[in-house]
Amino acid sequence: MPDPTPYPLDQLAERGSAQAPALVLRDRTLTFDELRNRVSLLAGWLASRADRGDRIASWAVKGELTCLLPLAAARAGLVHVPVNPLLKRAQVAHILADSGSVLLMGTKARLTSLEDGDVPRGCDVIDENDVFALAEAEAAMLPPSNRDPDELAAILYTSGSTGKPKGVMLSHANMWLGAVSVAHYLGIAADDVVLAVLPFSFDYGQNQLLSTWYAGGCVVPLDYLFPRDVAKACAKHGVTTLAAVPPLWVQLTEIEWPPETIAGIRRLTNTGGALTRELVHDLRALFPDARLFPMYGLTEAFRSTYLDPSLVDTHPTSMGKAIPFAEILAIDDKGDVCAADEEGELVHCGPLVAHGYWRDPERTAARFRPAPAASKYGGIAVWSGDRVKRDADGFLYFVGRRDAMIKSSGNRISPQELESAALATGLVAEAVALGVKDERLGHAIHLVVRPAPQAGDYETVLPKELKRELPNFMQPHVIHWRDTMPLNPNGKIDRTALAAEIGA
């Protein structure tokens, strides 16, 4: 078991050998010594712009700023709010207002898309390209901190089944121990090169930075357009570790890979949805010498389980067992630990459990509740809502979700948020969003709608309006138009009947 002692998050910058490569940027590579200096510089500038505990947001491309902000903000005593770069202005406006951010750093094109009223009063907006120039002009440096590991370090916004994204509060300890845990069970070493293709607004995307630097390894951030861009980056930088979601894995198995690049890949890690037997087979065939790590997690507790690569062939549908620092229980409706092969709710206990939802005590109380009596950690646990079974050998298997969340291309999508966007166009009177199982996407998004009276050319206009208001990953793949909606005995729309009708 690795060291369970948490430290201030910014001290991850102090881990690697001084002249070893830490971060590969487009125009240069930062050594760990340079990384430490740049974190100190950025932290000093941030501390001059905001007070301790203030929230600062980033809505920017992967680069030096977004890679260093998690550590620099923590060193300055601030709370980092990374915004998914795929979001549109309406979602960003909600996150800025909900978090109370006092600073937004972003790409110029993204910032100019914001409209009047999107940025709260008191929130400064700065082009990401100007940040380090401003920091260098002020020449303020902050040394490594001695922050309390229980201090808040980040708020990650994740979709919920009942509306707008909610902010998950993560402490220094949550993120430090998450980095330690992943570095330990993946076996990341100082000579590893990790390609970071997942968004830094995702917990595992950000953890790729933190776990790699904990191990003294090197990170290559990549915003890719096409799957072949991933293969090219692996070849160019000698990548040893690659993480992706199932839809990207499918695309990566369909392109040509140089044999020498394949030979250099040591490990593949999957998140954002379960691997199918067929995809496991294809990945093993393409990367025969790489260790394949299927994993399960939830933002409220970061990562819960992983399956040892040596067991992938014999347990291809298993979620595996708990990662270091996590205790995972399957609990029945009476609050007791389930017997072998009995279905129950996955409950995550231990120090990786987040501190709840930002400014949302009601939803916090519903999801973050006292741990079951059988827990060795006790305290507050995350009651996931996911249904699982544990076999006689202790391996966990996913059964299904209790709520109606749609998971498409690794993204958690709120049906209510999509339905609200459709209704807001004025083109539809009723709307129901459902996920239909899809081999490539996990779930395809289906939107069932009844047009509003005098809606005009609604079939043509609705998709255009949704594209204007919602990010690409939330766009429905299929829109079903109905003259009437089925109703249940209570007079509400019968979602179960609609799901059966469209094969959800």
Helix (H) or strand (E) holding 437: strand 428-438
Q: What is the pLDDT of residues 211-265, one digit of tens each?
A: 999 999 999 999 998 999 999 999 999 999 999 988 789 889 999 999 999 999 9
Cite the beta strand spans of 94-213 per DSSP E: 103-106, 124-127, 152-160, 163-171, 193-196
Instruction: Give, in words, the CATH class of 26-147.
Output: alpha beta
Average pLDDT over every residue of 103-113: 97
Confidence at residue 416, expressed as pLDDT on a 0 to 100 scale = 76
Confidence at residue 86, expressed as pLDDT on a 0 to 100 scale = 87
Alpha helices in 215-270 (DSSP H): 227-237, 246-252, 259-264
Q: How confident is the model at residue 6 (pLDDT cuts 50, 70, 90)?
A: very high
Cα separations (Å) of 150 from 8, 74, 177, 179, 217?
9, 12, 12, 16, 26
Confidence at residue 491, expressed as pLDDT on a 0 to 100 scale = 60
Ranges of each domain in the chain: 26-147, 406-502
Domain 406-502, architecture per CATH: 2-Layer Sandwich (3.30)
Task: State the Rg of the chain over Cα.
Answer: 23
d(CA 401, CA 250): 23
**Residue 502 predicted with pLDDT over 60:** yes
Q: What is the pLDDT of residues 348-404, one digit of tens each?
A: 999 999 999 999 999 999 999 999 999 999 999 999 988 899 999 999 998 776 666
DSSP label at 317?
T
**Residue 162 predicted with pLDDT over 60:** no
Confidence at residue 55, expressed as pLDDT on a 0 to 100 scale = 98
Q: What is the pLDDT of residues 447-497, one digit of tens each?
A: 999 888 877 788 889 999 999 989 999 999 999 999 888 876 556 678 888
